[in-house]
Amino acid sequence: MLCILTTNVIARAGEDVRDKEILGWIETALVTSERIKVKAKLDTGAKTTSLHAINIKRFKRDGRRMVRFTIEDPETGELLEMERPLVRSVRIKESIGDEHSRRPVVELWLCVGSIGREVEVNLVDRSRFIYPLLIGRSAMAGLIVVDSEETFTLPPDCPSEDKAS
C-alpha cells in the first residue's frame, strides 16, 4: 500500500514539474515594455520580487497614489525615469540586523525564460547587491522550477508586454 501511495505522489510531482519552466538560479530578465535586460536572481527563499531603483518618490496625481523612480539600463547606462500607480507598501526585514524598511510596490512587466507577465515588484536601492532584480517565489509560483546548479539556461523570449497573457 505504501509503495502505491509513494508512486502516485512521485508521478503527480513529475507531472507538475513538466508543466513548469526549469530555470537556473541566475537568469537574464527583461523589465517593462522598454525590455531592459538585467541579471536576475531567482530566489525561492524570498517571498517578494525586488528591483533596483533610485530617486524613488511617492506622489499623488488626480487623487491617485503614484511612484516615480529611475532604473538603469545596464547595457547602455541610460537612466529611465518611470511612473507607476502605487499598489501598496510592504514592510521588509533587512538582510542584516533587525531593521525593517517600508518599500513601495508597483506592477511591472517581467520576462524570464518564456514567461512574461505583470508582477508586483518592490522598489529599493540594490546597488550593494550583484543582481539588480531578485525574483521571489510569489512571482514564480506555479510557473517556474529553479535548478540551483544552473545559470543562464534560457534567454528571455516573451511576447511584448501588450500581448502577454
CATH of the domain at 100: 2.40.70.10
Within a domain: 12:
no
Between CA 37 and CA 16 the distance in angstroms is 29
Closest by CA to 111, choosing from 53, 46, 43, 40, is 40
Instruction: Characterize the bridge pairing of strands 144-151 and 21-31.
Output: parallel
Residue 7 lies in a domain: no
Expressed as residue numbers, the domain containing 28 is 20-163
Q: Flag whether 2 is in a domain.
A: no
Please report which helix (H) or strand (E) contains residue 50, including its range. strand 49-52
Q: Is residue 63 part of a domain?
A: yes
Helix (H, G, I), strand (E, B) or coil at 150: strand
Residues near 72 by Cβ (< 8 Å), separated by ≥ 6?
A: 52, 54, 78, 79, 80, 132
The three state secondary structure string of 55-109 is EEEEEEECCEEEEEEEEECCCCCCEEEEEEECCEEEEEECCCCCCEEEEEEEEEE
In a domain, 27, yes or no: yes
Is 3 inside a domain boundary?
no
**What are the pLDDT tens digits along the chain (165 aa)?**
444 444 444 444 555 667 899 999 999 999 987 889 999 999 999 999 999 999 999 999 999 999 999 999 999 999 999 999 999 998 876 666 667 788 999 999 999 999 999 999 999 999 899 999 999 999 999 999 999 999 999 999 998 665 444
Q: How many domains does the chain have?
A: 1
